[in-house]
Chains A and B, each alone.
Chain A
Amino acid sequence: MPSARKSSLRWSNWNLLLLIPLLMLVTPWFNSDEPRLFGLPFFYWYQFAWVPVGVLCVGLVYVKTKDEPVVKGKPDLLGVDDLDEGAK
């Protein structure tokens, strides 16, 4: 096991926002004709409404995680592997 091995993950709780757009795949919530908007059945305009929601979620994650630490070649968080195998 190479000694350089460590966790390559950087987690931010803001990332959880990225899961929200997946909710638009729940078809029973919107598979109906009424109410209509500009004559367009609910099924269609509801899904259009998800486009800005998706943009907002991704945009927020981008803005909020902008200041993630820059890599300077220093060790990252200590990974589970190192603890397990006593590599240090």
Chain B
Amino acid sequence: MQWTELVVFTALFLLVTVLGFMAARWQAGDTLDHLDEWGLGGRKFGSWITWFLVGGDLYTAYTFVAVPALVFGSGALGFYALPYTVVLYPIVFLPLVRMWSVSRVHGYVTPADFVRGRYGSHWLALLIAVTGIVATMPYIALQLVGLEAVLRTMGLNGSGILGHLPLFIAFVILALYTYQSGLRAPALIAFVKDTLIYIVILVAVIYLPTQFGGWGAIADAAQAKFDASEAASDGVLLNANNQLQYATLALGSALALFLYPHSLTGILASRGRNVIKRNMVALPAYSLLLGLLALLGFVAISAGVKPITNQATGRPDTNTIVPVLFDMEFPDWFAGIAFAAIAIGALVPAAIMSIAAANLWTRNIYKEYLKKDASPAQEAKQAKLASLVVKFGAVAFIVFVDPQFSIDLQLIGGVMILQTLPAVAIALYTRWFHLWGLIAGWIAGMGYGMWLLYNIGNPAIGKAHFAGSALPLGKLSLFGWHPFGGSTVQIYVGAVAVVANLLVAVVVTLIARKFRAFNGTDETQADDYHVDEDSDRVKPVAAH
């Protein structure tokens, strides 16, 4: 047991718990019994709050734990997280303000709400909502993996179900204050989280290299380790086979990120278009931080970090390498702060994700199919309950599913959510795609993507299926036809699946137009996509 670390950690954890419960009254509107208030914080967050909230939402415990772990394990490939977050903002800059405007005019709370309005089809909206919920679940689970990596490093490393008890307690607390305060809780806690994270990372990247002879020596030591390993795909640089994978993984992840319901929640909660635009300029500050963090994977190699054996699974947990590095190199009190930063870094996104998934459930399934005449108060009640269910679902995910490579869980979700690109992102610009084309494309992309992921095995870790998202082009087959022969060049599965999705969507759209099939009704108008906060066309917040 690391008592000093535990005490500092617990103190900071208690601080955010108090903040979480107090948040219910922070900038509160007239009522919390409305999704605009509980689920979107009153739709009035300014530039600073949005920066902390979205930053806390996008740069998660996954960032702090799994990315350095990937760099530790395979080198350059793990650094994809940096280009991912650099190309992200230019790509989403224009679509996001359109999404904000149209959502503000029509009172949309979720991406599926928008699709429902744009195509007038509750079936298409259902597909989008279910995709969002299913893709978000492993993402929440990933946050738990980050949290647990920290807890185990501090000595709370029990075996069996008991080993998950600290995680369970942390999540019960999180669930309670999210239930009470809604989106305001993570928004307020994000201030603490990001401040701690910035301090910890800056200290780590300035202080730690001096302990191991500077970056040059660290990079050489990493290369020596990769040269000695049997795996062919690792190294301080990319090789001929994984460059395409690196680029497509970065691009695919960037396209996918704002299709996740929780990312849009942060955007829709902001006050106006300029708040979003300013944030697209300011958020890359976190990208810098993320790149520096990734390099800690190399530092861990120099420091000779050995991953802690997870007593629940009996295998080394590579996600513990950054916590172990901090544990070895920092005084106990500072390691405690670092661990609290990572743990709170798990709580903020987990809260937002569960709120987003709960919004989807409430708006696009409960109100659509189960209780069409639900009042706003009933909607809010339903969403609060759903957020509890989602969180405990995620805990079950961690307890019963092997957390060995948590990053792969998220990659599967990434492939899934990418399949909503045509219906959500492209539909912001054009209704060219036919309703049936979008549905057919979704089915094709999802089916093909899952099938490809299923067939990716990795004998080295004893997994025959779902062992990663890197597909050798030579293995790419379409009903037995291999268009790329025996090529060993790898590509990100999500990129392949979304291309299949788009192709099918185009073909079916052309056919549907030929037969003049009904294409749904569009309740949005051209001007809706440009409305700003001062317009008289925006829908009053928390009105029925």
Are A10 and B247 within 8 A (Cβ)?
A: no
Any chain A CB within 8 A of the CB of B390?
no
Chain B residues, CB < 8 A from A86: none
The residue that A7 contacts in the complex, of B280, B288, B526, with Cβ under 8 A, is B526
Chain A residues, CB < 8 A from B216: 36, 38-40
The residue that B525 contacts in the complex, of A4, A40, A53, A61, with Cβ under 8 A, is A4
The residue that B86 contacts in the complex, of A36, A40, A54, with Cβ under 8 A, is A54
Any chain A CB within 8 A of the CB of B278?
yes
Chain B residues, CB < 8 A from A59: 281
Number of interface residues of B (CB under 8 A): 47
Q: Which segment of B370-378, B449-457, B528-536 sits at the interface? A: B528-536
CA of A10 to CA of B87 in the docked complex: distance in angstroms? 22
Closest B residue to A60 using CB positions: B281
Any chain A CB within 8 A of the CB of B464?
no
CA of A81 to CA of B217 in the docked complex: distance in angstroms? 63
Q: What's the least CB distance linking B141 to chain A, in Å? A: 29
Are B281 and A39 within 8 A (Cβ)?
A: no
CA of A71 to CA of B529 in the docked complex: distance in angstroms? 10
CA of A9 to CA of B288 in the docked complex: distance in angstroms? 33
Are B247 and A71 within 8 A (Cβ)?
A: no
Segment 19-66 of A: residues with Cβ below 8 Å from B: 19-22, 24-28, 31-33, 36, 38-41, 43-44, 47-48, 50-51, 53-55, 57-59, 61-62
The residue that B87 contacts in the complex, of A21, A41, A79, with Cβ under 8 A, is A21
Any chain A CB within 8 A of the CB of B83?
yes
CA of A41 to CA of B235 in the docked complex: distance in angstroms? 12
The residue that A18 contacts in the complex, of B90, B214, B215, B531, with Cβ under 8 A, is B90
CA of A69 to CA of B72 in the docked complex: distance in angstroms? 50
Given known contacts A40-B219, A50-B86, A54-B87, A18 and B530 CB-to-CB distance under 8 angstroms: no
Any chain A CB within 8 A of the CB of B277?
yes
CA of A28 to CA of B87 in the docked complex: distance in angstroms? 17
Given known contacts A43-B76, A59-B281, A38 and B90 CB-to-CB distance under 8 angstroms: no
Chain A residues, CB < 8 A from B4: none
Are A31 and B243 within 8 A (Cβ)?
A: yes
Are B238 and A76 within 8 A (Cβ)?
A: no
Are A48 and B281 within 8 A (Cβ)?
A: no
Q: What's the least CB distance linking B159 to chain A, in Å? A: 39
CA of A10 to CA of B528 in the docked complex: distance in angstroms? 12
Q: What's the least CB distance linking A57 to chain B, in Å? A: 6
Any chain A CB within 8 A of the CB of B29?
no
The residue that A31 contacts in the complex, of B93, B237, B277, with Cβ under 8 A, is B237
Are B91 and A51 within 8 A (Cβ)?
A: no
Closest A residue to B98 using CB positions: A8
Are B217 and A48 within 8 A (Cβ)?
A: no
Closest A residue to B84 using CB positions: A25
Closest B residue to A42 using CB positions: B237
Q: What's the least CB distance linking B200 to chain A, in Å? A: 19
Segment 51-110 of B: residues with Cβ below 8 Å from A: 76, 79, 82-83, 86-87, 89-91, 93-94
Q: Contact string, B510-544, partner A, CB cutoff 8 A, digits 1/0?
A: 00000000000010011111111001010000000
CA of A7 to CA of B278 in the docked complex: distance in angstroms? 26
Are A26 and B247 within 8 A (Cβ)?
A: yes
CA of A36 to CA of B94 in the docked complex: distance in angstroms? 36
Any chain A CB within 8 A of the CB of B383?
no
Chain B residues, CB < 8 A from A9: 429
Are A47 and B291 within 8 A (Cβ)?
A: yes
Given known contacts A10-B530, A18-B94, A70-B532, A27 and B247 CB-to-CB distance under 8 angstroms: yes
Chain B residues, CB < 8 A from A55: 281, 284
Chain A residues, CB < 8 A from B281: 55, 58-59, 62
The residue that A51 contacts in the complex, of B288, B529, B531, with Cβ under 8 A, is B288
**Shortest Cβ-Cβ A-B pairs, 4 listed:** A39-B216, A39-B215, A8-B526, A18-B90
A-B contact pairs, 11 of them (CB 8 A): A4-B525, A15-B94, A21-B86, A22-B87, A24-B87, A41-B219, A44-B295, A61-B93, A62-B281, A71-B535, A76-B526
* Residue ranges of A at the interface with B (Cβ–Cβ < 8 Å): 2, 4-10, 15, 17-22, 24-28, 31-33, 36, 38-41, 43-44, 47-48, 50-51, 53-55, 57-59, 61-62, 68, 70-71, 73, 76, 79
* Residue ranges of B at the interface with A (Cβ–Cβ < 8 Å): 76, 79, 82-83, 86-87, 89-91, 93-94, 214-219, 236-238, 243-244, 246-247, 250-251, 277-278, 280-281, 284, 287-288, 291, 295, 429, 522, 525-532, 535, 537
5 other A-B residue contacts (CB within 8 Å) besides A22-B87, A71-B531: A39-B215, A39-B216, A41-B219, A53-B86, A55-B281
